[in-house]
Amino acid sequence: MQASEGATGLRERKKRRTRDALIRSALELFADHGYEGTTVDEIAAAADVSQRTFFRYFANKEEVALSVQEMVESHFFAAVCERPAAESPLTALRAAVLSSWDTIEEAIQSVVPLELHVRTFRMIQSTPQLLAAHLRRSMELEDRLTREITRREGLAEQDPRPRILVAAFSGVMRANGKLWAEVADGDMSRLKQATAGYLDQIGPALAENWRS
């Protein structure tokens, strides 16, 4: 029983290597032949394991495609939890997104090249099955964010306001991501700028009388 991280034993390290190899192989094959154009057998063969072993690491084909995205999201959630309690919820969410992007890149790089992740992100947006799975995960993230903000603000569990705020925030982030996927050059600084601008619109969007 070691503390937490670090290479515990050979077994652990080997598993981690196998997992990373599967992710790398999968994302590369997806980038080349598309999601549906790649079979699990091919992924397993490229990572030098059996198909049966693939399914011991990932519950299904979707999961390997979304695995890096999963890292990004849990990184963001951790950033939210670390924001000072004095910040308003929206400020905390905003700051967490922007700051988490500063530190996530190296974590991604340790598994796959950044450019491959960007291509994968685009693939998720354009593959119905993956988009569906991705959205379901996003809703789970919304749930967790809602609970965290309810806790921060000391509100009752049934109070709908955190959920609504999170929904608006997530809606902005989705639109932002979609836009980025369409036009993106992979330039992170421009993405951050656009995101900040978008988030500034949440207040005005709920004020009535846009036409004035």
Partner DNA sequence: TGTCAATTGGCAGACGCTGCCATAATCTCG
Partner DNA sequence: CGAGATTATGGCAGCGTCTGCCAATTGACA
Binding residues for its own copies, per CB under 8 A?
88-90, 128, 131-133, 135-136, 139, 142, 153-155, 160-168, 170-172, 174-175, 198, 201-206, 208-211
Q: Within 33-52, which residues bind DNA (CB under 7 A)?
A: 38-41, 48-52
| Residue 38 contact, options DNA, its own copies, none, Cβ 5-8 Å cut-off depending on partner type | DNA
Q: Which does 39 bind (CB under 5 to 8 A by kind): its own copies, DNA, none?
A: DNA
Sign of CA dihedral 99, 181, 19, 111: negative
Out of 3, 59, 156, 183, which residue is the one contacting DNA (CB under 7 A)?
Answer: 59
Please name which of 110, 112, 103 lies closest in space to residue 64, comparing C-alpha atoms: 112
Cα Rg for the chain, rounded, in angstroms? 19
Q: Looking at this protein, which amino acid is placed at residue 212? A: S
41's tokens:
């057998």
Asked if residues 25 and 46 have their Cβ atoms less than 8 Å apart, the reply is yes
Applying CB under 7 A, the residues found at the interface with DNA are 9-12, 14-15, 18, 38-41, 48-53, 55-57, 59-62
